[in-house]
Structure 1
Amino acid sequence: MPHHLSTSRLKSLAGLLTAAFLATALAGCSSLHGVTSPRSAREDAPKDAKVAAGEVDCRKAKCVALTFDGGPSAPTPKLLDILKKEKLHATFFLQGKGHIDTYPDTVRRMAAEGNEVANHTWTHAVLTDIKADQVRQELGKVQDPIEKLTGKKPTLMRPPQGRTSDDVSKIMREMGLAQILWSTTAKDFETNDSALITKRTLDQTKRDGIILLHDRYKGTIPAVPGIIAELRKRGYTIVTVSELIAPAKLEPGKVYRP
């Protein structure tokens, strides 16, 4: 192999790598047309739209959304303690079976302390692999208990494995649920190394990003204080998903991803 590549060869190689990256990023979205980024959603909002009083304006601030999947679980109250101490709110995509039905008090606390509570299906079924009626059941069985516990029905959901499609999107539109994907994942399901989780998160985080973590895994919650501290040091304001999109309104059925 030659030690030096021509400029045209380098450009060609860069193009192939970019295409491969995009193909990988979109692999979870089968038969899907259209993804909206937080920035483009904000830009499409009415010119006179304003963020709610007391909330961050991410058109001006360098924002990143912090999200957690698959809870609540036994360690989740420790995470809520950290968020409360740091005066931060996160978005929690909750799973039903073995989680909401097992830790209802934690769900109540999440909402009471100002966190955003969202839907991550009942059994973590891959929605593109099941029938339409099953999709509705997976989401509906989470919508109702969250509403009973918090007084508010979720308007956001995250499809397991990020897998969605036009058919799934149609059902989400009918159910009033916007679909939220992510830009940063520490893959904390495969390691308990808090330092590695921190590094992976920070290495991938960019403005208007959506960070995906799991509060159920051993190494994750110990990593959170360091992640928060370093993000702040780098000038980030940590917000919920809805705050990241504001003053735009998240639209049911749409897929949002940085």
Structure 2
Amino acid sequence: TQPIIVTTTTAPQQGGSGSGQQGGNGSGSGQQGGAQDLKEVLNSKVSKWGDANGDGGVDMGDVVLIMQSLANPNKYSLKDAGAFNADVSEAGGGITANDALTIQKYLLGSVTKLPESYAENIKTVTAPATTTRATTTTAKPTTTTKATTKAPSQASGQKFSVKNGQNQFKGDSDGYSYEIWLDQTGGSGSMTLGNGGTFDTEWSAQVSKGNFLARRGMDFDRTKKATDVGKITLDYAADYSASSQGNSRLCVYGWMTDPLVEYYIIEDWVNWCPQPQGGSKTVTIDGAQYEIFTLDHYGPTILDNQSRNFKQYFSVRKSKRTSGSITVSDHFKAWADAGWNIGNLTEVALNVEGWESSGKANVSKLTIDVSGGGQGGNTQQGGNTQQGGNTQQGGAQVQAGKKLCAISFDDGASAQSTSDPGYRIINALAENNMTATFFNVGSWIKTEQQIKYEYQKGMEVANHTQTHPHLGQLGSGQVRSEWEQCNSKLKSIIGAEPSHLMRLPYLESNGTVQSALYDVPLISCAIDTKDWNNASTNDIVNTIKQAAQNGSLEGAIVLCHENYATTAAAMEQVLPWLAQNGYQNVNISDMAKAHGKTLAGGQVHTRA
């Protein structure tokens, strides 16, 4: 699968400078003396120059994200930290296509250090504004213990303000995600983070269709149904009030996917609360009565910036309150018992929302406890539960203390006999107590037995489309069909759900591909062994060894193909060497889980 390198010499400017936000730490003007002082401030806000996607490395994934954010900022917004990291050409001047070009030059070696340059007159140190609520937070989920067991960070005191075109801030701190959002119809609002999950918020959106929200919570990686995550308990206390104009609510809020559902557990409200349009049911949870019902809705979603039809699930407390303990998982169970379809959990958050109103809330307590089923995204001890939801048979566990990499193999199933390269690679992995992801092309499968064998050996059986086309040349429906046909074929062979991951043919993607596969993590690579381009066995081995020695191999997705004898011979040599040097090769999903990372659907991933 030959990669395509994106190049450009144009320099469109992304948005404006927002509200003078300094990396999300205040709403002042960002002025701090002269250019040299601001240069130091800018450096202090960068975690790693060039790391736009926040995965800890610098690779083509960062280039792709920058270009996506410029082409469609409503859908592909950079987080504040990523925007600072990515501003490597004339740093301090904002994100342009030149930043993507500079990173490419850095990867090719023509630029030796990032940033390549600083702006001549740095006037503000601001992160580009995000422009839409309908995006997905991909913050690292916390572990299954109470989030408040985390040590307090510098989050306390961070203030975010929305108005005058700056309508959203999102991120995570102290183990909790946060979001403040204001509809662009007008108004203003602010949110100040406290320790743990606490926060203060106030808003004034007393305009036509004015809508405001502020929330904090815990993110999940969408790999488990809400009813399978385990027991989820949310404890909170809030001093909450709103104006007599418009309406407002205090609630637990989140989304599910497959099927797509927006859900609310409403604890208190002012003036108006959603009412059932059909039947409803009364249930008792935590000793209180809740009315549960569903509504059909059309509007923006967490998937992208397109409006869609979806369901809303409601639990409305009959006796309003502003503090207490909510067993959130019992609401999921009550909805399931009512016959409603339960999707994969994305978020549990305490939400303050106002419509055409003004108000304020001081959330002085917020803790979320998850126990039992295990929260998606935690460090995986067993090493065999896949991101796509299937549990492989056999296979090696992720070993504590090992450096992890994910050499993965495309274009299966290619073998016709057990002496062919595909089987040799599987056996070399198993003999070295390792696993890998095998990306299979549905119409190229020569024997089903090889797919069954890799599955039995604990390898991750994954999707490489049905016919290996140039996806960027296809329409949305054709792109989706390519994934679905291959997924169905793999499922029929192994008798279980295959991995949800898909390797991009030719490593090509565009907005149509990402929208059509909004729920599918799209896999590219950080390291290409070029076995597809006649690399010798020694070339392949040396590429991997050099990456291990310079530190770029850890966490990297490595591109190989299973149908070359040179690749099989290289694996027979390099896998024992990796084991001797403290590495374990694992499949991509297990590596992401071990690193506490979420492989988001509709996004291109080069590391995990």
Aligned-residue offset at 1:117: 0.9
Verify: 1:118 aligned to 2:459, yes or no: no
Aligned-residue offset at 1:219: 0.8
Distance verdict in 2 for CA 1:91–1:184, change over 3 Å: same
Name the structure where strand makes up a greater proportion of residues.
Answer: 2
Determine the C-alpha separation between the residues in 1 that align with 2:502 and 2:77.
Answer: 15
Name the structure where helix makes up a greater proportion of residues.
Answer: 1
Counterpart residue number, 1:79? 425
Determine the C-alpha separation between the residues in 2 that align with 1:24 and 1:47.
Answer: 30
Counterpart residue number, 1:91? 437
Determine the C-alpha separation between the residues in 2 that align with 1:28 and 1:125.
Answer: 20
Counterpart residue number, 1:10? none
Determine the C-alpha separation between the residues in 1 that align with 2:565 and 2:573.
Answer: 15
Distance verdict in 2 for CA 1:200–1:97, change over 3 Å: same
Give structure 2 stretches of 5+ with no counterpart.
Answer: 1-49, 51-57, 70-75, 83-136, 145-374, 384-396
**CA offsets, 1:29-51, max 9 Å, x none?**
89634599xxx999712244533
Return the letter of the residue paired with 1:92.
F
Aligned-residue offset at 1:69: 0.6
Give structure 1 stretches of 5+ with no counterpart.
Answer: 1-17
Determine the C-alpha separation between the residues in 2 that align with 1:164 and 1:171.
Answer: 11
Determine the C-alpha separation between the residues in 2 that align with 1:256 and 1:225.
Answer: 27
- The DSSP-based 3-state class of the residue aligned with 1:154 is coil
Aligned-residue offset at 1:232: 2.1
- The DSSP-based 3-state class of the residue aligned with 1:219 is helix
Distance verdict in 2 for CA 1:235–1:59, change over 3 Å: closer
Distance verdict in 2 for CA 1:104–1:23, change over 3 Å: closer
Determine the C-alpha separation between the residues in 2 that align with 1:68 and 1:35.
Answer: 31
Aligned-residue offset at 1:234: 2.6
Determine the C-alpha separation between the residues in 1 that align with 2:534 and 2:65.
Answer: 25
Equivalences, count = 231
Return the letter of the residue paired with 1:81.
N
Determine the C-alpha separation between the residues in 2 that align with 1:236 and 1:225.
Answer: 15
Determine the C-alpha separation between the residues in 1 that align with 2:520 and 2:526.
Answer: 20
Verify: 1:106 aligned to 2:106, yes or no: no
Counterpart residue number, 1:161? 506
Counterpart residue number, 2:68? 32
Query: Is contact 1:35-1:256 (8 Å) kept?
Result: no
Determine the C-alpha separation between the residues in 2 that align with 1:58 and 1:165.
Answer: 36
Aligned-residue offset at 1:59: 9.2
Q: Map of 1:12-27 to 2, 5 A cutoff?
A: none
Determine the C-alpha separation between the residues in 1 that align with 2:482 and 2:511.
Answer: 17
Q: 1:235 aligns with which of 578, 582, 595?
A: 582
Return the letter of the residue paired with 1:46.
T
Q: What TM-score comes out, normalization by structure 1 length?
A: 0.78
Return the letter of the residue paired with 2:406.
A
Distance verdict in 2 for CA 1:110–1:226, change over 3 Å: same
- The DSSP-based 3-state class of the residue aligned with 1:66 is strand
Return the letter of the residue paired with 1:166.
G
- The DSSP-based 3-state class of the residue aligned with 1:32 is helix
Distance verdict in 2 for CA 1:35–1:44, change over 3 Å: farther
Determine the C-alpha separation between the residues in 1 that align with 2:62 and 2:468.
Answer: 20
Identity across the alignment (%)? 22
Distance verdict in 2 for CA 1:215–1:244, change over 3 Å: same
Aligned-residue offset at 1:252: 2.2
Larger C-alpha radius of gyration, 1 or 2?
2
Aligned-residue offset at 1:209: 0.9
Determine the C-alpha separation between the residues in 1 that align with 2:77 and 2:583.
Answer: 24
RMSD: 3.1
Counterpart residue number, 2:382? 54
Distance verdict in 2 for CA 1:218–1:29, change over 3 Å: farther
Aligned-residue offset at 1:171: 1.2
Return the letter of the residue paired with 1:221.
A
Distance verdict in 2 for CA 1:240–1:153, change over 3 Å: closer
Could you tell which deviates more after superposition, 152-161 or 245-254?
Answer: 245-254
- The DSSP-based 3-state class of the residue aligned with 2:407 is strand
Query: Is contact 1:77-1:106 (8 Å) kept?
Result: yes
Query: Is contact 2:61-2:606 (8 Å) kept?
Result: no
Distance verdict in 2 for CA 1:57–1:116, change over 3 Å: closer
Query: Is contact 2:413-2:441 (8 Å) kept?
Result: yes
Query: Is contact 2:413-2:447 (8 Å) kept?
Result: yes
Distance verdict in 2 for CA 1:256–1:129, change over 3 Å: same
Verify: 1:183 aligned to 2:532, yes or no: no
Aligned-residue offset at 1:147: 0.6
Aligned-residue offset at 1:140: 1.7
Distance verdict in 2 for CA 1:77–1:253, change over 3 Å: same
Return the letter of the residue paired with 2:459.
N
**CA offsets, 1:39-69, max 9 Å, x none?**
x999712244533333367996421112101
Q: 1:127 aligns with which of 464, 467, 471?
A: 471
Verify: 1:70 aligned to 2:411, yes or no: yes
Verify: 1:171 aligned to 2:516, yes or no: yes
Return the letter of the residue paired with 1:83.
L
Could you tell which deviates more after superposition, 231-240 or 105-114?
Answer: 231-240
Q: Which has the higher contact order (CA 8 A, sep 6+)?
A: 1
Determine the C-alpha separation between the residues in 1 that align with 2:138 and 2:580.
Answer: 25
Aligned-residue offset at 1:141: 1.6
Counterpart residue number, 1:250? 599
Return the letter of the residue paired with 1:86.
N
Aligned-residue offset at 1:198: 0.9
